[in-house]
Amino acid sequence: MKKLLIHITMAFCGLMLLACANQEETEATVNTHAPKLLLTQNGADFIMAHQDNVLIEKSLGKLRTAFNTAVEKPLEFPQPLDAGGGYSHETHKANYQNALTAATLYLLESDTSALAYAKEILIGYAAMYPNLSTHPEGKTQAPGKLFWQILNEEVSLVYLIQAFDAINSALSENERATIITGLFEPMVSFIKDESASTFNKIHNHAMWGVAGVGMAGYVLDHPEWVDAALNGGDKSGNSGYFKQIDQLFSPDGYYSEGPYYQRYALMPLVILAQAIEANQPEIKVLEYKDGVILKTIETTVQLSACNGYFFPLNDAVKAKSIETPELGYALPLVFDHSENPDLWVEVMKQNGNVVLTDALVGLHKKKCEPFKRNTLYIKDGPKGESGALAILRSDPFCGGTTALLKFGTHGMGHGHFDQLGILWYGHGNEILADYGAARYHNIPQKFGGRYLPENDTWANQTIAHNTLVVDENNQYGGDDDLADQHHGDGIYFINSDSIKAAAAKNNTAYPGINLQRHVALVTLEGLGAVTIDITTANSEQSHQLDLPFHYKGDIVFRKPAVQMEANQLTVLGKENGYQHLWLRGASETTKLAQSTLVNGNSFYTISTTATQPFKVLWAQTGANDPEANLLHQEALIYRSKEKSQTWVSVLEPHGDYNTIHEKTSGAATQISGLTAEENNGVLTLKITTVSSQEFQLEFELSENQNFNNPHISISKV
Amino acid sequence: MKKLLIHITMAFCGLMLLACANQEETEATVNTHAPKLLLTQNGADFIMAHQDNVLIEKSLGKLRTAFNTAVEKPLEFPQPLDAGGGYSHETHKANYQNALTAATLYLLESDTSALAYAKEILIGYAAMYPNLSTHPEGKTQAPGKLFWQILNEEVSLVYLIQAFDAINSALSENERATIITGLFEPMVSFIKDESASTFNKIHNHAMWGVAGVGMAGYVLDHPEWVDAALNGGDKSGNSGYFKQIDQLFSPDGYYSEGPYYQRYALMPLVILAQAIEANQPEIKVLEYKDGVILKTIETTVQLSACNGYFFPLNDAVKAKSIETPELGYALPLVFDHSENPDLWVEVMKQNGNVVLTDALVGLHKKKCEPFKRNTLYIKDGPKGESGALAILRSDPFCGGTTALLKFGTHGMGHGHFDQLGILWYGHGNEILADYGAARYHNIPQKFGGRYLPENDTWANQTIAHNTLVVDENNQYGGDDDLADQHHGDGIYFINSDSIKAAAAKNNTAYPGINLQRHVALVTLEGLGAVTIDITTANSEQSHQLDLPFHYKGDIVFRKPAVQMEANQLTVLGKENGYQHLWLRGASETTKLAQSTLVNGNSFYTISTTATQPFKVLWAQTGANDPEANLLHQEALIYRSKEKSQTWVSVLEPHGDYNTIHEKTSGAATQISGLTAEENNGVLTLKITTVSSQEFQLEFELSENQNFNNPHISISKV
């Protein structure tokens, strides 16, 4: 899968077919029932005139296939009885999706069978909806009527109102009135008024409610619905769309729960933005909060590795990549408003799921340019004052390494206890990895596809991350609420040609212990682009300090040599994730450890020293896992017991492993020596290479440094 | 990697650029020094006229890049001192490769700098060779002069004589004489006469010797060299090229050591065949032994899964796919002589390493057609009487499942003790897998890249394969010589639209025990294409019988439910591979076990019953592995202790797991019941589905059945 995406990235630009048809567009006649939302007649005409554009061709093909599949079955409107996954739930979900599919095809192709089908669904619901009471399975605080959860009801409104909008001008007065009074008025009333407590929440689910109600307001000419959607049920601005944007997304476009949930939260955010822009351009929604909506879309894409997979922070399903359909609305919107739309043509191609809306108008004039992933400091929190993610990239494409340092907000119920954790990638492959969520998503046999118990006992625990663990405890004692009240803080960030670096501190995760992490991408002559990774812990008491690296690949060299356990494996610890680790072996105390991995076509060596001696533990997940829920993954853990300890690792990509031509070069690390000394708050690192070069690097470890100009020096001795 | 190859398979045909240039070819003027081997002036002209063909463009580009890289360094002819991997070894190897590269470019492009470079290498060796004695590191029985092994010397002749041939007509009389007397005459004499014992061996290494000497004979007009190459040093026919073909390749084109070594053995076989065809077409070498040379090439490709990776039988490096450069000569040859050359255009594209020879003439007239992988019975042994491999495929492309049953020869020193072992693939992904060789190929840190000790203690052991293990012993007591004297025998083979099946027996692997395995691909209404896998063991004494399945993917359902060990893992056994397995858990005795895996976008369930009850053991590799040489892989093992036991498994691919659109269907097995009964030598299998369908299948278990028409019946109850 990963390779496939890389392949696509390279191939797409070359393959692009750009239509060069006439650019004149027909001016729509004034018609109060003309489409008003994301796809208007103008957009439809453009799309049909440019069917040979590969993006349009693909999406149009999918629409046609989906419609042809839908009409094979008779339409049904079962009494709402089942919860998610059940018959009535899945049938109503298919109905609203099919209504939008058919209505869109009608708008595009004037296909009267599609019109009839969309109409039948809307009229069917108009007949049914007024008679529904709350859903029998709706035992939560927020039940729907068609669905067990109000969330699903809100999503259905987003689809159905768009379907109605697309066929509105083809309806008779009578049909129109039937649908409005039978379906949309009661549905909006149910969502906006009867379910006001949800509608006015600050939560990504409520975003769907405001999107649906706001769009219904535009289409049915109810400005008060729009007002409620944008400014909350009481129109005070303390809830509603703008307040949600304020609270849920940081000014840099980051969503606290992490990239996996970010792409989901993005969809209603974007749909309503596009509808507002079409109907009330004077609001300048895309300029709101310094353009945070478009920034959020761009940040979502930047939060993926160069193979397209999202960084698996917090509760993430690792299979999620930018191919995800939720980006189907977002990417065209950012394309439409970007100063450099050519870049987004490629991303839309990688996504492959663009929704056909007016945002695509102009596509025929755009070239395809390789998208660049950048070195970024992405501030977290509503005002950008709650820590950040720092992403350091040696290369904007897939040629180098990427390091990510996390010190933002916890991420609420989906957060992991991984302050100051890092991820590290080589050529788009995970090398130092995050387990993601412990979950077999959508696989019924595994706990219904929901989060497994091991999500709480392993995946979100501190030891499951590439960050320091004190006394085998979790950060914040494993308490989500406590963790949500805190975050790390940046010390510095540099993004220059010669060095890309970030440092952060956290003094709250473990009481009485000051933690820092510094990560720097530097190019050393003869060694190439290496990553320096520094972790410090300072305390007045002595603590057991464990620094884990969860590596991906096959270990081909280990120093010190450790004989792995032969006949018996025992568990490493009792709780906080340690109960899931088998201890494969442990070294004597050392001050230099090196491990070389092969992964894909490259080698990677982790060379580690510290100011105090430490042991190397070799571990593997799988203990205390009676149902075999955990994937078997390996880790090395550096362990020492000290009041103060500073670890320094040099992460070194090297060599070339060509299995097709059976040629290997540079398989061995170029680093032969590594020492670290701390004096007066300055860390001095010496690196010796096998060709007897010596480098000296200095990092100041003070918490208070010039954010843009910290004290780092690099010299060749 | 796997996905990438599949992608290529689908994309290549569409992308192909076929040149439609003038088809007239210039007739070469008669010139005794004109090129005589694989690439002549005629071929060179064709290639240069069709540079826009993607295959030619790619290979030409590689040649140019290789030449430009080579000339950046000064030419050196170091005194031969080092063994493989050392400086003198690698320099001489690069020299002979660069000589051929440069000479080929000269022939193609009349590039005089390339001519000068090739000439300098040949004249350099002509000056050096007469003064060389045997290599100082040549402590083996068969030393070279430039190289420590005669094998490398033979390979160098194959390259150098082709380089000479390509520039022969551009040499002065004096240069020509210098090279012939200084280099080729002494080299041929050394290989053919002074190293006669190797030259006349029946071994794939010696194939290089005869290829080099034979080609030198054609170019330098020494018919007696050709005679020695084709018929052995004493020209008796008891050794030499034809005898080697007789002995090394089965009539169906299988090489006993397995596909990994087959593609290596193929290269000199093909090169000499093409040279003979060009110089002595009257020999009709491609018709020899019923066309075995072309058959061997076709079989090599058929011995790969639909993702292009070779079946990893015996000591196989699993990274090897049809992209391997050794197929660069073979594929054009079979293309040139195939009755359906269009099929081979796609395979050449997947390979991507075609060598530019006369075999490509005509390429511009050929279409690209998807290559079909077939259901095959590939007989083993020089006369095809030493067992076989049966490959059963539900689909010629990548849409279905593939089952392979191995019961041919052992494979000499590279053989594994895996008689009646199976491999099973779904959509090109390994589901029931072979470990391949225990080796980090070309990674110096891991035992110099050579076979690891664990190749003998794990990888080639019976328990490491999907085949029955008796009393925790290896087949043939783990004795290669003994195993080489035996093989399995086919009982039947069917390849019809409704059923593809094979069965084989082996009564020699374990003294006193009769073993059979039957594998059948059948389509059952409502269940789809499933594989029935039957293993029987019969003995007069009671034995511990272990049937392992080495699966790939994540287990999402297990029946009976087994609580895995929580706090401690112990080793499963003491020797014969068992010492490398951790025991994760074991079930109570049962008569029905089911395990569902998710792998890629599909689910796979293994449902197993037996005539006697058995336990299910869950194991993982990694015990007694102090250097961490083994990859961590999982297996389930069915265990019972009986005189006679017959296991029946239904291997069922099902459902669809779409992670992009987050849709899952058919995640659960459709099989709810499975029973097996044996009466009067007939096995009756009953399959019940969750929708209460019932199927009854009968297999006769007699060793003597009508090979083409065995007793198998399938009915719906």
Tell me the per-residue pLDDT of A73-108, one tens digit each, with 9 for 90 and over: 999 999 999 888 788 998 999 999 999 999 999 999
Please give the average per-residue pLDDT across A665-686, as a whole number.
Answer: 96
Instruction: Going from the first residue of chain B to its last (717 residues), give the mean pLDDT of each consecutive group of 10, the final group possibly shorter.
Output: 38 34 40 94 97 95 97 96 86 97 98 97 98 87 91 96 98 98 98 95 90 98 98 95 96 96 94 98 97 97 97 96 96 96 95 97 91 97 97 96 98 96 98 97 90 97 98 98 98 97 98 98 95 98 98 97 96 98 98 98 98 98 98 98 98 95 91 97 97 97 95 94
Instruction: Tell me the shortest Cα–Cα distance from A489 to chain B, in angstroms.
Output: 35
Question: Distance between CA atoms of A33 and A31, rounded to whole angstroms?
Answer: 5
CB-based contact A659 B620, cutoff 8 Å = no
Where in the sequence numbering do the catalytic residues of A fall?
Answer: 261, 414
Burial (CB count <10 Å: 0-12, 13-18, 19+), residue A175: middle
Where in the sequence numbering do the catalytic residues of B fall?
Answer: 261, 414
Q: Does residue B661 belong to the interface with chain A, where contact is any CB pair within 8 Å?
A: yes
Of the candidates B7, B443, B628, which has its C-beta nearest A7's C-beta?
Answer: B7
Question: Distance between CA atoms of A20 and A2, rounded to whole angstroms?
Answer: 33
Please give the average per-residue pLDDT across A355-360, as a whole number.
Answer: 98
pLDDT value of residue B467: 98
pLDDT value of residue B262: 93
Q: Which residues in chain A have their CB less than 8 angstroms from residue B567's CB?
A: 570-571, 623-624
Q: Which residues in chain B have their CB less than 8 angstroms from residue A558's CB?
A: 628
Answer whether B99's CB lies under 8 Å from B152's CB.
no
CB-based contact A659 B567, cutoff 8 Å = no
Instruction: Tell me the shortest Cα–Cα distance from B442 to chain A, in angstroms.
Output: 6
Residues 615-644 of B with CB under 8 A from A: 618, 620, 622-628, 631-632, 634
Report whether CATH 3.40.50.720 matches the domain B1-11+35-72+249-372: no
Residues of chain A with CATH 2.70.98.70: 376-716
Q: Does residue A20 belong to the interface with chain B, where contact is any CB pair within 8 Å?
A: no
Give yes or no for residue A193 having a pLDDT over 80.
yes
Work out whether strand A634-654 and strand A602-610 pair parallel, antiparallel, or are unpaired.
antiparallel
Residues of chain A with CATH 1.50.10.100: 1-32+251-370, 74-248
Give yes or no for residue A599 having a pLDDT over 50.
yes
Strand ranges inside B14-129, DSSP E: none
Sheet of B682-689, strands arranged across: B671-679, B682-689, B694-700, B712-716
Residue listed under structure tokens 């960084």? A311
Question: Distance between CA atoms of B416 and B406, rounded to whole angstroms?
Answer: 11
CB-based contact A663 B620, cutoff 8 Å = no
The gap from C-alpha B610 to its chain's centroid, in whole angstroms, comes to: 34
pLDDT value of residue B661: 87
A259-279 helix and A241-248 helix, angle to the nearest 10 degrees: 150
Nearest CA in chain A to B351: A660
pLDDT in tens, A276-286: 999 999 999 99
Paired tokens of A384: 């950008």
CB-based contact A4 B7, cutoff 8 Å = yes
Q: Which residues in chain A have their CB less than 8 angstroms from residue B564's CB?
A: 622, 625-628
Give yes or no for residue A471 having a pLDDT over 50.
yes
3-class DSSP assignment, residue A262: helix
Question: Distance between CA atoms of B146 and B195, rounded to whole angstroms?
Answer: 14
Q: Which residues in chain B have their CB less than 8 angstroms from residue A635's CB?
A: none
Question: Distance between CA atoms of A518 and A505, rounded to whole angstroms?
Answer: 9
Q: Give the ipTM.
A: 0.92
Q: Does residue B567 belong to the interface with chain A, where contact is any CB pair within 8 Å?
A: yes
Of the candidates B323, B566, B568, which has its C-beta nearest A626's C-beta?
Answer: B566
pLDDT in tens, A101-114: 999 999 999 999 99
In this prediction, residue A24 has a pLDDT band, given cuts at 50, 70 and 90, of: very low
Residue listed under structure tokens 């993004």? A495
For an interface test with A, which of B443, B452, B602, B625 has the most A Cβ atoms less than 10 Å from its Cβ? Answer: B443
Residue among A285, A258, A604, A314 nearest A430 (CA): A604
Q: Does residue B586 belong to the interface with chain A, where contact is any CB pair within 8 Å?
A: no
Residue among B580, B567, B359 nearest B454 (CA): B580
Q: Does residue B139 belong to the interface with chain A, where contact is any CB pair within 8 Å?
A: no
For an interface test with B, which of A659, A661, A663 has the most B Cβ atoms less than 10 Å from its Cβ? Answer: A659
Answer whether B99's CB lies under 8 Å from B118's CB.
yes
Please give the average per-residue pLDDT across A287-306, as a whole number.
Answer: 97
pLDDT in tens, A209-267: 999 999 999 999 999 999 999 999 999 999 999 999 999 999 999 999 999 999 998 99
Answer whether B231's CB lies under 8 Å from B240's CB.
yes
Instruction: Tell me the shortest Cα–Cα distance from A358 to chain B, in angstroms.
Output: 23
Answer whether B331's CB lies under 8 Å from B297's CB.
yes
Of the candidates B561, B582, B668, which has its C-beta nearest A569's C-beta?
Answer: B582
Question: Distance between CA atoms of A209 and A188, rounded to whole angstroms?
Answer: 9
Instruction: Tell me the shortest Cα–Cα distance from A556 to chain B, in angstroms.
Output: 6
Q: Does residue A444 belong to the interface with chain B, where contact is any CB pair within 8 Å?
A: yes
Report whether CATH 3.40.50.1460 matches the domain A74-248: no
DSSP code for B282: G
Q: Which residues in chain A have their CB less than 8 angstroms from residue B449's CB?
A: 664
Q: Which of A128-137, A170-179, A442-451, A616-625 has the lowest mean pLDDT?
A: A442-451
Question: Distance between CA atoms of A707 and B7, rounded to whole angstroms?
Answer: 47
Of the candidates A569, A582, A596, which has its C-beta nearest B445's C-beta?
Answer: A596
CB-based contact B571 A571, cutoff 8 Å = no
Instruction: Tell me the shortest Cα–Cα distance from A705 to chain B, in angstroms.
Output: 43
CATH code linked to domain B376-716: 2.70.98.70
Of the candidates A325, A626, A631, which has its C-beta nearest B661's C-beta?
Answer: A325
CB-based contact B554 A631, cutoff 8 Å = yes
Please give the average per-residue pLDDT across A350-357, as a whole number.
Answer: 96
Which residues share a beta bridge with A551? Answer: A432
CATH code linked to domain A1-32+251-370: 1.50.10.100
CB-based contact A317 B659, cutoff 8 Å = yes
Give yes or no for residue A29 having a pLDDT over 50.
no
Phi, psi torsion values for B77, nearest 5 degrees: -130, 75
3-class DSSP assignment, residue B582: strand
Paired tokens of A456: 């709480």
Average pLDDT, rounded, for chain A: 94
Please give the average per-residue pLDDT across A368-394, as a whole number.
Answer: 96
